[in-house]
C-alpha cells in the first residue's frame, strides 16, 4: 500500500438527505477467516462475494507470500490454491490488518509451527491474544511471545490433538483460529464459550463444504471432528450486516429514504431493536432488501417508567460493538437523551471528541460510556478517522452537518467499506475523495 492511501481525505458538503438505493457487499469479517481457511487444503477454493477492500487485499498479499496461487476472476471472486505455506510474512502487511492473526490456526495445523509478528488493525483499545493461546494450547501446542513481540506457536506432536476447550471469552477471531486448527486435529474437539457471530457461522459453513464435521453452528458450543485432509470447494461470503447497519444510520440521521439491497434479514433483528431505540425504523422490502423510509419518529426512546434509555453492546446475538459509533452519531440528530455503553473496547468512545468539535452535545463519562443529548446542529469541521466504524460515523456526521467537512485518514474507513465514495454519490450526497 502506498503513502497516498494514508494521505487521502473526503470532502463532504453536508445538509442533503441520503436518497436512493444501495447494495451491501460481502462481510469483511467473514472474508478474512475464509481466506485464511484456504491454507487448510491443497485443492482450489473458490470464494465469491468477497468485498474489494483494503483489508482483503492485504490478506491476499499475505497468502501470496506463503506461496498461495490466487486467480482473481473478477473484483469479488477469487480461486485460491495453497502452496508451500512456508514463505516469510512481511511485517508491514501483518501489522496492517488485524485479520492476520487468523493465519495462526491454519498454519499451525499444516506446518506444526508458526511465527508471526503482532497483528495491527484498528486502535480501539486492548486486543488481547490470550484467548488464542488458550485455545491453541488446548489442542497440543506451546505458545510463546519473544522479547521482541514475535508470536511463536509449535505443536507438541506431528499433528494437533483434539481437546475439550473452554475459551475465557467469546472472542470471534480466537474461535475462528481454534475452529480451523481443530478441523485438521486428531480426534474430536469441543469448543465451549465460542463466539457465534454470522461471520463465525460463515467460516463453519465453509469448513463443512471443505469436508470438516462441525455440530452446533450458531451456538456457543461447537463440536469439531478432525479430518486427515480437507478438500476444495466453492463458497459465497455472506452479506455484511455492519455495512447494512451503517446505511440504516446514514438514511435515518440525514432524514432520507434509502432502499438497502442484498441484506440477510435474520442478521438484523437486534440491529432493528437498537435503531428503534433512537427513533429510526426500517421495513422489509422483499426477500433481501429493507427500506428506511423518510418519515421517522426521530425521538430517543425512554425506558419503562420514563428513565433514560441505554444502548450497550454484547457478543452475538447482542447489539454489535461495531455499530455503537454509528448509533452515537445518529442519536445526536434525535430528540432526547440516551446513554451509550461500550463494554468491549475501552478506546472506541474517544472518537466523540470529534463529534463534540462539530457541535454535538455529548458527555463522555469515561472510556466506556457517553450520554448523548439531541438534537444538535452539527457544523462542518476537519476531523480524522480513528478506526473503520468511527470513520463511517464521522462521514454520517459530516452529511448531517451544516457546511463543509474534511475527513482525514480515510484509509481506516476504506479498510472496511468498498467504494464508499461512489455509493454515497449515488445516494445524492456531495462527497469527493481527494488525494
Q: For the segment 154-208, what is each residue's pLDDT rounded down to a tens digit?
A: 999 889 999 999 999 999 999 999 999 999 999 999 999 999 999 999 999 999 9
Using 50, 70 and 90 to split pLDDT, how confident is the model at 129?
confident
Q: Rounded to a whole number, what is the distance in angstroms from the first to the last CA of the chain? A: 14
Using 50, 70 and 90 to split pLDDT, how confident is the model at 5?
low
Are 256 and 214 found together in one domain? no
Domain boundary at 180, 209, 236, which?
236
Are 61 and 14 found together in one domain? no
Q: For the segment 254-278, what is each residue's pLDDT rounded down to a tens digit?
A: 999 999 999 999 999 999 999 999 9
Are 231 and 251 found together in one domain? no
Identify the pLDDT of residue 124: 37
Any alpha helices (H) in 9-120, and if so which ranges? 28-37, 54-65, 91-94, 104-111
pLDDT of residue 127 exceeding 60 = no
Are 230 and 361 found together in one domain? no
pLDDT of residue 360 exceeding 50 = yes
Euclidean distance between CA atoms 360 and 375, whole angstroms:
8
Domain boundary at 215, 236, 257, which?
236
Are 314 and 327 found together in one domain? yes
Identify the pLDDT of residue 148: 78
pLDDT of residue 43 exceeding 50 = yes
Pick 207 or 122 by higher pLDDT: 207
Is 387 assigned a catalytic role? no
Q: Domain holding 392: CATH number?
A: 3.65.10.10
Domain count for the chain: 2
Least confident of 59-73, 111-125, 291-305, 375-389: 111-125
Domain boundary at 187, 209, 236, which?
236
Identify the pLDDT of residue 125: 39
Q: What are all long-range contacts of 262-267, with beta carbons under 8 Å and residues at least 24 apart?
A: 262/23, 262/24, 262/25, 262/288, 262/289, 263/24, 263/239, 263/288, 263/289, 263/290, 264/198, 264/238, 264/239, 264/288, 265/290, 267/198, 267/238, 267/239, 267/241
Helix H or strand E segment including 70: strand 69-74
pLDDT of residue 2 exceeding 50 = no
What is the model's pTM? 0.94
Identify the pLDDT of residue 112: 85
Are 84 and 148 found together in one domain? yes
Q: For the segment 393-434, what is each residue's pLDDT rounded down to a tens digit?
A: 999 999 999 999 999 999 999 999 999 999 999 999 999 999
Are 404 and 267 found together in one domain? yes
Catalytic choice (42, 55, 74, 122): 122
Are 13 and 115 found together in one domain? no
- Domain boundaries, position 429: 4-25+239-434
pLDDT of residue 1 exceeding 90 = no
Are 9 and 151 found together in one domain? no
Structure-block grid coordinates of residue 259: 432502499
Are 205 and 56 found together in one domain? yes
Are 285 and 187 found together in one domain? no
Mean predicted confidence (pLDDT) in 281-308: 94
Are 90 and 64 found together in one domain? yes
Q: List all residues 6 or more positions away from 256 whose beta carbon is below 8 Å from its beta carbon.
A: 17, 18, 19, 250, 292, 294, 427, 428
Average per-residue pLDDT for the chain = 93
Amino acid at each position: 500500500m502506498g503513502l497516498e492511501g494514508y494521505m487521502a481525505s473526503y470532502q463532504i458538503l453536508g445538509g442533503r438527505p441520503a436518497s436512493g438505493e444501495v447494495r451491501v457487499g460481502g462481510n469483511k469479517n467473514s472474508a478474512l477467516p475464509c481466506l485464511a481457511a484456504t491454507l487448510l487444503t491443497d485443492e482450489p477454493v473458490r470464494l465469491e462475494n468477497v468485498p474489494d477492500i483494503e483489508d482483503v487485499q492485504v490478506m491476499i498479499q499475505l497468502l501470496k507470500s506463503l506461496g498461495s496461487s490466487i486467480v482473481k476472476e473478477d473484483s469479488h471472486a477469487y480461486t485460491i490454491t495453497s502452496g508451500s505455506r512456508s514463505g516469510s510474512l512481511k511485517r508491514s502487511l501483518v501489522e496492517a490488518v488485524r485479520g492476520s492473526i487468523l493465519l495462526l490456526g491454519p498454519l499451525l495445523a499444516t506446518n506444526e509451527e508458526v511465527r508471526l509478528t503482532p497483528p495491527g488493525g484498528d486502535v480501539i483499545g486492548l486486543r488481547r491474544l490470550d484467548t488464542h493461546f488458550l485455545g491453541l494450547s488446548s489442542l497440543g501446542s506451546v505458545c510463546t511471545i519473544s522479547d521482541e513481540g514475535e508470536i511463536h506457536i509449535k505443536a507438541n506432536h506431528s499433528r494437533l490433538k483434539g481437546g475439550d476447550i473452554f475459551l475465557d471469552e467469546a472472542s470471534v477471531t480466537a474461535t475462528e483460529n481454534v475452529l480451523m486448527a481443530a478441523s485438521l486435529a486428531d480426534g474430536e474437539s469441543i469448543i465451549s464459550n465460542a463466539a457465534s457471530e454470522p461471520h463465525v457461522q460463515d467460516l463453519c459453513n465453509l469448513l463443512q463444504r471443505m469436508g470438516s464435521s462441525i455440530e452446533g453452528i450458531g451456538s456457543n458450543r461447537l463440536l469439531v471432528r478432525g479430518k486427515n485432509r480437507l478438500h476444495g470447494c466453492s463458497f459465497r461470503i455472506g452479506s455484511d450486516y455492519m455495512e447494512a447497519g451503517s446505511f440504516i444510520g446514514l438514511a435515518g440521521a440525514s432524514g432520507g429514504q434509502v432502499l438497502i439491497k442484498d441484506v440477510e434479514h435474520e442478521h438484523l433483528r437486534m440491529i432493528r431493536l437498537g435503531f428503534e431505540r433512537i427513533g429510526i425504523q426500517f421495513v422489509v422490502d422483499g426477500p433481501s432488501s429493507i427500506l428506511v423510509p423518510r418519515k421517522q419518529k426521530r425521538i430517543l426512546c425512554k425506558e419503562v417508567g420514563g428513565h433514560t434509555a441505554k444502548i450497550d453492546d454484547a457478543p452475538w446475538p447482542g447489539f454489535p460493538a461495531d455499530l455503537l459509533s454509528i448509533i452515537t452519531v445518529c442519536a445526536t440528530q434525535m430528540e432526547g437523551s440516551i446513554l451509550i455503553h461500550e463494554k468491549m473496547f475501552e478506546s472506541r468512545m474517544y472518537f466523540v471528541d470529534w463529534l463534540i468539535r462539530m457541535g454535538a452535545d455529548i458527555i463522555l463519562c469515561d472510556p466506556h460510556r457517553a450520554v448523548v443529548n439531541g438534537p444538535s446542529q452539527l457544523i462542518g469541521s476537519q476531523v480524522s478517522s480513528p478506526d473503520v466504524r468511527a470513520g463511517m460515523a464521522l462521514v454520517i456526521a459530516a452529511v448531517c452537518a451544516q457546511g463543509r467537512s474534511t475527513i482525514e485518514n480515510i484509509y481506516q474507513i476504506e479498510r472496511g467499506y468498498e467504494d464508499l465514495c461512489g455509493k454515497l454519490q449515488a445516494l445524492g450526497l456531495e462527497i469527493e475523495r481527494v488525494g
